[in-house]
Amino acid sequence: MNPFPALLLAGLLTTSASAGTDFDFLLAATRQDASMDWWYALPQPFAPKLQPLKTAPKGEYFSLIPVFRRYAVDSNDTASIVFDLTVRRPDGGLDSSLKRLDGFRGVPPSEKALLPARAVVRFCFDDDDPLGNYVFEAVAVDEIAHATNRRRIVVEHVPFAPPDLSEETCESLFLHYPERPDPVRAFAAFLQTRRGFVNEEGEPVWAAIWFYKTVFKENEFLLPHLLEAFEKGDRRRRLCIVLLLVLLNETDRLPALSPELEAFRREAEKGHVPDPYAGRLKDARQLDLLWAEFFATGRVEPIRRFVAAFDLADVAGTLEKIKAGTLDFDDPEVRRDARLEAVFQAALWSMRSNLRTSSLLFRYAIGLADDERLPRKERVILHMLTKDALRQRKEAAEK
């Protein structure tokens, strides 16, 4: 077993518990992103959705998160909570033990706030860990109330076993991935999807391949299994795997390639990957990469960056004026504005579409629309889109 604590900064918390005595807490294991944007970046009144896991294969990291409630505060409204964590193997023997981890020290955001521990502990099962049920026990101490409580959960160490998925499931897997990540399921979808990851022009389908690139980068335990799949794969599967490994800078792991695959690898390595975080957003491919990063991680930063595309609203109307003949497309500045408007329209369309299908995106967008750190133009457009999405959600719920 490989444990290490990852310390997180306190941020915006939701209110859904009552303060007082009877100190209590929840202990959960989850695959959700350890940065916990899915908790801290949510605005009021949205409550975070914690998705617990029950099984994990060798090498997959998951987080152990205590969430405290009914804690005491002192005369300065300060809480002070620590916890110990122990892990027992299937035979009952002690696997590992961590002492006096940081639960919460400071002023809670409100007297009724649920408090996730600041020390979120990451675990994975190693080669020498036997299969079976592992018992994780946390003993938490409320140092203000002088109260102690303990909670146990069980996570089963299971073999790596990708499921068989339908084509429809492969195509839609990314939609719910931010809230319910499952790297083994994503691994299966990457190998089983019948749609290629290169279009007819030889350009990567960035929204798809970058999603998988990000999943594999975040979950390195998948790479040995990917190489096994390469050995057993047909031509289409091998081409997809080579492209993915090029993007991961991991082609040195591949065996000797056939002349066709070697030529494909060299051509793929010549390709340019647009950086979505460099300068002004001016390429629709940058938008695809940001969407892929969000859906693969559930983090708020790619969405914060994405809305910068709304700054291109100044060029809106250029395409209509070209069509009407009032602007000359041969003018380099007009042509540039036309390209930028195409990016702006793509940003509007994709944000509107994804707000209807992704609950986590909708919640992030509500918060960002009120975030005064963003330029006013971006917030106004985002507010308009979230208002429209809310109306559509209400109409769908009433049907």
> For the chain, what is the HEC assignment?
CCCEEEECCCCCCCECCCCCCCCEEEEEEECCCCCCHHHHCCCCCCCCCCCECCEECECCCEEEEEEEECCCCCCCCCEEEEEEEEEECCCCCEEEEEEEEEEEEECCCCCCECEECCEEEEECECCCCCCEEEEEEEEEEECCCCEEEEEEEEEEECCCCCCCCCHHHHHHHHHHCCCCCCHHHHHHHHHHCCCCCECCCCCECHHHHHHHHHHHHHCHHHHHHHHHHHHHCCHHHHHHHHHHHHHCCCHHHCCCCCHHHHHHHHHHHHCCCCCCCCCCCCCHHHHHHHHHHHHHHCCCHHHHHHHHHHHHHHHCCHHHHHHHCCCCCCCHHHHHHHHHHHHHHHHHHHHHHHHHHCHHHHHHHHHHHCCCCCCHHHHHHHHHHHHHHHHHHHHHHHC
pLDDT score at 17 = 35
pLDDT score at 28 = 96
User: Both 144 and 217 in a single domain?
Assistant: no
In a domain, 287, yes or no: no
pLDDT score at 202 = 79
User: Both 181 and 256 in a single domain?
Assistant: yes
Q: What's the token pair of residue 42?
A: 């949510």
User: Both 47 and 191 in a single domain?
Assistant: no
Residues 258, 263, 264, 265, CA torsion sign: positive
pLDDT score at 9 = 32
| Contact indicator for 182, 62 with CB cutoff of 8 Å | no
| Contact indicator for 70, 18 with CB cutoff of 8 Å | yes
Burial class of residue 358 in the structure, from the number of CB atoms within 10 Å of its CB (0-12 exposed, 13-18 middle, 19+ buried):
buried
Count of structural domains within the chain = 3
In a domain, 316, yes or no: yes
User: Both 151 and 239 in a single domain?
Assistant: no
Provide the residue type at 44 as one letter. Q
User: Both 27 and 151 in a single domain?
Assistant: yes
In a domain, 216, yes or no: yes
In a domain, 275, yes or no: no
**β-strands 147-157, 55-56 pairing:** parallel
Q: What's the token pair of residue 16?
A: 């859904």
Domain termination residue (choose one: 103, 128, 157): 157
User: Both 332 and 380 in a single domain?
Assistant: yes
User: Both 77 and 106 in a single domain?
Assistant: yes
pLDDT score at 21 = 56
User: Both 67 and 197 in a single domain?
Assistant: no
Query: Which residue ranges of the chain lie beneath pLDDT 50?
Result: 4-20
In a domain, 337, yes or no: yes
Q: Using alpha carbons only, what angle is made at residue 179 by residues 96 and 30, rounded to the nearest 5 degrees?
A: 10
For residues 277 and 270, give the distance between their C-alpha atoms in angstroms, rounded to a whole number: 21
pLDDT score at 3 = 60
In a domain, 276, yes or no: no
pLDDT score at 112 = 63
pLDDT score at 1 = 64
CATH number at residue 42: 2.60.40.3880
- The whole domain housing 365 covers 293-398
User: Both 218 and 323 in a single domain?
Assistant: no
In a domain, 318, yes or no: yes
User: Both 101 and 142 in a single domain?
Assistant: yes
In a domain, 113, yes or no: yes
| Contact indicator for 95, 87 with CB cutoff of 8 Å | yes
User: Both 249 and 195 in a single domain?
Assistant: yes
User: Both 12 and 125 in a single domain?
Assistant: yes
For residues 225 and 213, give the distance between their C-alpha atoms in angstroms, rounded to a whole number: 15
For residues 221 and 218, give the distance between their C-alpha atoms in angstroms, rounded to a whole number: 9
Q: What's the token pair of residue 91?
A: 């035979």
User: The whole model's pTM is what?
Assistant: 0.90
